[in-house]
Chains A and B, each alone.
Chain A
Amino acid sequence: MNYNELVAIKERALKAMGPRAADHTLKEIKERTVLVCGGTGCTSGKSRVILEEFREEVAKAGLSDRVKVIMTGCFGLCALGPVVIVYPEGAFYSQVHPEYVHEIVESHLVNNTVLTKYLYKETVKEEGVIKALNETDFYRKQHRLALRNCGVIDPENVEEYIARDGYLALYKVLTSMSQDDVVKVMLDSGLRGRGGAGFPTGRKWMFAKASQADKKFVLCNADEGDPGAFMDRSVLEGDPHAVLEAMAIAAYTIGSDQGYIYVRAEYPIAVQRLRIAIKQANEYGLLGNNIFGTGFNFNVEVRLGAGAFVCGEETALMVSIEGNRGEPRPRPPFPAVKGLFAKPTILNNVETYANVAQIILNGAEWFASMGTEKSKGTKVFALGGKITNTGLVEVPMGTTLREIIEEIGGGIPNSKKFKAAQTGGPSGGCIPAEKMDVAIDYDNLIAIGSMMGSGGLIVMDEDNCMVDIAKFFLEFTVDESCGKCTPCRIGTKRLYELLTKVTNGTAELEDLDKMEELCKYIKENSLCGLGQTAPNPVLSTLRYFRDEYVAHVVEKRCPAGVCKNLVSYSIQPDKCKGCTACARKCPVGAISGTVKNPHVIDKAKCIKCGACMATCKFGAIVKG
């Protein structure tokens, strides 16, 4: 592969990609492209069947030479999956069923009439007129950088990546930049690690470059352990070459020829696409030996995790690739000096890598012009929980939580009230409503007791109990603590027990002080980041929602009605019509009463399953 060949492929592929940008001005449409989302969310909604149906129906209609059907990565709006987009109109079909396909092909592809009834409602201006996707609330404030190719290209076709300037950055680096030049660009860009800690990427590369050794390694952290986050998965599924290209650039910079990508085993689609991408890149001479004839060699291997959260921690990840129990080891020595197989190593997160080629091509200043003073560029968040538009969003650093939740996310469903947003997963904290206008960046989130983490953003409403949530995360860390150091292994367990006392209603007020003290001790004395951050969910909820803890302890009451031991059900006599539905539903026969007369619940028998409340049509049963 040389430069001319790369450019020739780019031009050829651009043509072959056909119309893949919304063009509302076209009078006459000759070609169409149907994009079917192949992300994990949509795939579990049968998007593969939909893809096959489209291929079949298009062939049956005799449109095969004018309509291309392609599977892409995630479009972002997972809540509306499975999603299909038809270009050039940019018609966004949502919640598509395989049975709709025939109708869409007939109307839209054969008779040129967009089938508005299946479109995402927000994109329909009036009958027959559609609004561009980036005019919708969900997309308007987004800025897609790391996700620029997700939902645009076919991730299983390297040529489509090349069409979008793929591997041009690698070419530029190998043929016209010194190792120090690359380090300087990365430093000037201000890019910080997206895996959680926010360490400057350029500094990391500089240290590893400075280490002298016969062998060095470049690793990619695709372990994505935060439960409830799927940014990295979406990048790998939608744009795997962006990660490979960046790893090659990193390898050139530090003087390495071998890379490993450590992926969670729970991500089979991502693993498969990565393997295809590596194979194609090797075939095209974009990985392997003597890349672009420069004498630079770089090979990449995929290694699967096996379900251990701690393996996302850098030293544990390396120990795991070496084939051992993934227990972290103390630092120093830092990986840049002594990492995988005791050789100098750099480890970066998937999303960090996804920014690199763009920075090389567009320059450090371009990247540094986005974001806040100390956090440059954009951040991808996985929006989940009690929010209307669950999905993937990418926004410039400095966007407020309110913008993300109320504008992009479409607010809280079922007219419930926002209570808190959780960022940073098990290492992070809960952000209350009064902090919704804080500009999100690394430093601001730490200042309000949470952290950026990898980008999970879970929204909670008034029905979620904050003590229960803190306990949920602690249960996770107790389970995932590798057991190597005592503060984490025993400390988190004791903390969990104290939380259980609170949710059971057996705690005293002084237990809250004990919890705080224990949190401080665990933070200060644990070996690795897992233990050092494990108390954060407890500390942040104690800070902002102490009244909920106090209600559990003093009044023996769970305000959100979640903690079973503290909940009791009763029937309001004035609302009960005596229909007997609840009495028939109760699995333990705890409800008694006669027809047309108010019923009562025997609290001694009640197992608090809530079946009666769900059954009652008159809202007569209350929890509290």
Chain B
Amino acid sequence: MSDSSFIRSEMLQPQIPPVSERGIVKWLRENLFSGWLNSILTILALVALYFALSNSLPWVLNGVWDAGSLNDCRAILAARGEDAVGACWAVLSRWNQFIYGFYPVELYWRPTLAAALLIVALAPVLYFGLRRPTTYMTGGIGLLLLLSLFGLKTDTWHIGLAAAVFGALTAVAWLLPKKLLYVTLAFPGIGFWLLWGGSAWGPVAVMIGLGLVGALALWTIPRIGMILAALLAALLFLSWFMDPISSVLDFFGMILGWVLAPETVASILRPVAGLRDLLPLQPHVSGGLQSLLPVSLEQVDSDQFGGFLLAFVIGVTAISASLPIGIVLALGRRSDMPLVKMICVGFIEFVRGVPLITMLFTASLLLQYFLPPQTNFDLILRVIILVTLFAAAYIAEVVRGGLAALPRGQYEAADALGLDYWQAQRLIILPQALKISIPGIVSSFIGLFKDTTLVALVGLADPLQGIRKIVLADTDWKGIYWEPFIFVGCIFFVVCFSMSRYSMYLEQKLKTDHR
């Protein structure tokens, strides 16, 4: 039999792989000392690590936690020995200002409750209404909330209420996790009310208005077409929240004023002057409801917001609003309709070309000119709007990348099955494009959240600049440097790292290609 001819008489059965050694030694050899170059690098890295930690670790660990002022702190350190080093963590006794800004101390329970409800509102969205994680998140945050409320010395009445509410929510999470989405829907109103206080009917009327606008649009689009429906919805939106009648009257007044004397103009407009009180509808509705059933909380003004409370209000609102806006912009940029495409491209490129700081200054000054004169937005709201638009432009580009990565066959298959544009986008294209874009979207979110510290430039008290300066202005803590930075940095890190981990979970979860 020659060497080149071979016939297998029996097929081989699969065998288990050879047993190799395991454990820490193997891991070390494979990962740290797998060759002379890697061994040298490992040793160099260890040396570098030693020098870095030998200087900073004692400083961190030997910190002074109990001191009334920086001088006390230094005295304590000096008493320990000639060259004792240590951080002065005692400055964190001002932690509450870093977290709550200038929010009235006796009302701390309100932002705390709002934060806990935010987590409950997020749970069903983040975990697709899966029972286990949703329940753990709801129950866990409930316990944490009760502990914090005890810590904040909230009165028993409020603690009892919170316990009842979160007990109920946890039960709902376990029995009907998807129903928690109602909390998500209601949260914008509840959160706003808890934070700013005032009549509960204000936010209710706002949400009713938005609901009506949405319902009107949904009802009219199939009946009278996209454009008319959009106009109608816009009209309802304007009459609910603004005062188009007064604007129109002012406009006519101005035109008439060019040719007629002011008194004549006034007499012409007098019969219709009553119409000026008609709109906006929102305050009428909320006022009416409030007089029927007064429910209100003590009002807190925007200038009392600061610290992480402010960062979270801006960050969370902007994050949740920028995603849908970004998606719409990305779709618009790929639209066949030239006008839509032009508007979207123009917006995206403009926003990306302008520094965020410029836009923040715009928020504090220019927006006032562009918006109708009656709208007296407060600064936080204006900042939120601009930060949202800013993030939306970036997200639009990230999502566009995801859309472009989809093979044309997906669009064609959707078309060939007879799905219309919106069905195809919603059911086929976006789920896949967004999945591809998750890392980019989350990067944008993380960037956005960290950029909330820039609001210091328009005079809002962000945790990093605003609050730190205020703490430093206290004569007790004048001259302290690293400690507040480290504290604020740690909190930012925890939040941003969680977002990043969640995005990895999500990618894993949505992985269905099995390739």
Please say whether chains A and B are actual partners in one complex.
no
| Interface residues in chain B, defined as those with a beta carbon under 8 Å from any beta carbon in chain A | none
